[in-house]
Amino acid sequence: MNMYDRRLAARNARLAYFKKRSVDRLLADNLTSPEIEGVLAGNPLGLLPASLLQASLKIKVPVWIDFPPRDTIFDYVFLQWRPQGSSDGEYKDLQLEVDGIKVPGPAPAAGTLLEFFIPVESFTDSNGNVLNGAYEFRYSVKSFNGGLLSSSLPVQLVLDTIPPYGSTGYPEDLVLPVGPVIDTNVGAIKADIPAYDDQAEGDKIGVFWIKGDVPDDISGLTPIGGYQDVPTDKVFSIPEAIIKAGGDGDFFAVYILLDKAGNDSRIGKSHLMQVALGPLPTPPLAAPTVRHADDVSDDLIDREDAFAGVFVDINTEISNWKIGDVIVVQWEGATLLPYPIIGFPVSVPVPWLTMKGQYDFTAGDSQDTAVKYSLVRGSLPFPSEEVTIKVDLSKVGPENPGEPNPENPALGLVTVTSFTNETDKIVLADRGESATAALAPYVGIDKDQLIELYWAGALVGSHTVDAEQPGDPDIEISVAWADIEKGGNGLVDVWFKVSHPDFINAEHSKSKQVDVTAVDVKLPDPVFPKIDTQLNWLNCPSLELTDDGSYGVRVHIPASAYLLEGKKINIKWTSYTDTSNTVPLTGGELESGELTVSKDQQDNGLDFWVRPYETYFLPIYGFDADNDGSGKVEYTLEVAGQLYTGTTTVEIAMWGAGVSCPIPPPIIS
């Protein structure tokens, strides 16, 4: 190259340099790079939190040189971006205004940052989905004087709304050791985190220890130790304290991956982990017993037993049990609901539907039934030995809608016709005469079935089925007057029972109430078990030591057809100073108040104590010249809606030769 050419090249180089320096200065002085609010630090450069992509992005720009001097003059700002690495001509305007954003003068104070917004629609597609990717962002200014469009240096912008494993994928399961978790390994439970293809710098993980079913949304739960960096060795230890705090049960270790932009993955799960902490029982546990089929009963469960209530009893305390443990019974393969243990013995009720469901009605008769149980801690079972019992639920007659209640409404009701043709009534004109009870042949009636009629709870007649069928004339059974009389007045329950020699289970009809008013009710008189039988009076040997330490006289109300369990009875005693029951002893009245008759009293009669001796008997002695007195006892019972009374009077001669009765009294054989 000659000298001229060399000088020309040098001149052109200097011109190019100064031109570039002028452009760079213009860009640096007038159009500084924009600031996008919320950009995260670190890599990748320009990453925005996904949460910011739900609304317009805020852009901050310093005031540039040669700003419009007046508010009637405008510069126009264009917000622009393009995919990273594209050529300059591919920038796309992001603002909605076609001609740019109007910026009026005059210039604000030095250092002021102008704020612009990228509308949310600008970075989403027509379906509202974010246009994920890396972009270069800048702004350009078209000055008010019609000058050239000046552009800022670009900044990098990364939009990312795609979570780890993508928008539709599920993280692979955590890998946990084989359970169960017990005291010996509770401190060594580690979860292996599966590797994933799109792992990136800044990814975090949240691990949760969840009891029972994993909810679809766990965003309200706090992960163990908070969200933390994904371990480099992909191993996460479940702290012993977390496991112990969760207690016994079925658990899952689940996790969520969170990328730097804040996108969280779907829930990654694990296999079920059984947790059973504390000292454990040692199987096999002792076999249970079954109430009504044990060594104190008939070794067989029938329908009456089922109605009374069948229980699987565990009488021996299980070692190492604790509150929270449950008993799960298996009845011939059917599993009952868990039953909590609060102490021993434990009695687990067996539902009728379970007993019925495991009984083979086609085979009928008595059937072997296997019964066992498990103590379950969490979901870890400790099984017992098995016991085999007998069950017989076979029956005669129609289906019973109220089973196992032996009362079967499908049998129908009896109809009672009196001697004078009254229906379901026995009136005064029927006194001394028998009545007739009739029942319609029921569905399921069959040869050799035995129909037994009950009046006021007593068996009063029967009929053996021969060839009767539903729709045939009624079956009639006679009721003798003696049985009617024994049942007494009132609304008397009348019903029938159906049985068969080949079936252990019997059923009975619902009761029909028959209104009886023909019986002459007479209550038995009270008696004195320690009365002097020769003189028929109460004397010193009539006194007995009572349960409160005092001495008194026992009054006995005899058992009768009217002294029935549940009935209310009132008893009254009165002491008299004379033998004709005319001068009451002051303070000599004693009343029982309303008492309820028990089953034992129904069977054996009722005793009532007149005590103490010092109050009801001693004051008679010396009251007048003869020292003798009397007493009256009366009791009332309601029969058929009316009150009836039983009464006895007795002479009292409680003294010796010149003295009252010594205490304790003499024993005379």
Residues 108 and 134 in one domain: yes
Over residues 591-601, mean pLDDT: 96
Question: Which pair of tokens denotes residue 226?
Answer: 């908070």
Q: Is residue 459 part of a domain?
A: yes
Q: 603, 641, 305, 247: which is closest to 457 by C-alpha?
A: 603
| CATH number of residue 133's parent domain | 2.60.40.10
Residues 382 and 437 in one domain: no
Question: Which pair of tokens denotes residue 308?
Answer: 């009374």
Residues 37 and 153 in one domain: yes
Q: Which residue has the higher pLDDT, 473 or 28?
A: 473
Q: Is residue 168 part of a domain?
A: no
CB atoms within 10 A of CB 584: 14
Question: Which pLDDT does position 25 carry in this prediction?
Answer: 44
Over residues 243-271, mean pLDDT: 95
Q: Tell me the residue range of the domain where 364 lies.
A: 289-391
State yes or no: pLDDT of 12 exceeds 60: no
Length of the chain (residues): 669
Alpha-carbon distance of 187 to 508, in angstroms, equals 63
Residues 96 and 205 in one domain: no
Residues 293 and 378 in one domain: yes
Q: Which residue has the tokens 């494993």?
A: 165
Q: How confident is the model at residue 486 (pLDDT cuts 50, 70, 90)?
A: confident
Over residues 83-97, mean pLDDT: 79
- The answer to whether the beta carbons of residues 253 and 207 sit under 8 Å apart is yes
State yes or no: pLDDT of 359 exceeds 80: yes
Q: Is residue 173 part of a domain?
A: no
Q: Is residue 334 part of a domain?
A: yes
State yes or no: pLDDT of 29 exceeds 70: no
Residues 140 and 51 in one domain: yes
- Residue 599 amino acid letter: K
Q: How many domains does the chain have?
A: 5
Q: Which of 460, 487, 516 is the last residue of a domain?
A: 516
Cα atoms in the 13 Å half-sphere on the side-chain side of 451: 28
Residues 436 and 488 in one domain: yes
Q: 316, 348, 318: which is closest to 330 by C-alpha?
A: 348
Cα atoms in the 13 Å half-sphere on the side-chain side of 324: 15
Cα atoms in the 13 Å half-sphere on the side-chain side of 347: 6
Using CB atoms within 10 Å of the CB of residue 58, give its burial: 0 to 12 exposed, 13 to 18 middle, 19+ buried. middle
Of 3-17, 270-284, 507-521, 561-575, which range is least confident? 3-17
Q: 548, 551, 527: which is closest to 665 by C-alpha?
A: 551
| CATH number of residue 507's parent domain | 2.60.40
Residues 332 and 449 in one domain: no
Residues 43 and 144 in one domain: yes
Q: Is residue 82 part of a domain?
A: yes
Express each pLDDT in 623-641 by its tens digit: 988 899 999 999 999 876 7
Sign of torsion, CA 13 17 23 24?
A: positive
Residues 305 and 239 in one domain: no
Q: Is residue 129 part of a domain?
A: yes
- Residue 123 amino acid letter: F
Question: Which pair of tokens denotes residue 370?
Answer: 């296997």
Residues 262 and 298 in one domain: no
Alpha-carbon distance of 637 to 238, in angstroms, equals 75
Q: Is residue 17 part of a domain?
A: no
Question: Which pLDDT does position 27 carry in this prediction?
Answer: 43
Q: Is residue 30 part of a domain?
A: yes
Express each pLDDT in 301-330 by its tens digit: 999 999 999 999 999 999 999 999 999 999
Q: 136, 121, 124, 153: which is closest to 46 by C-alpha?
A: 136
DSSP code, position 124: B
Question: Which pLDDT does position 10 carry in this prediction?
Answer: 54
Residues 271 and 236 in one domain: yes
State yes or no: pLDDT of 669 exceeds 80: no
Q: What global pTM score does this model have?
A: 0.66
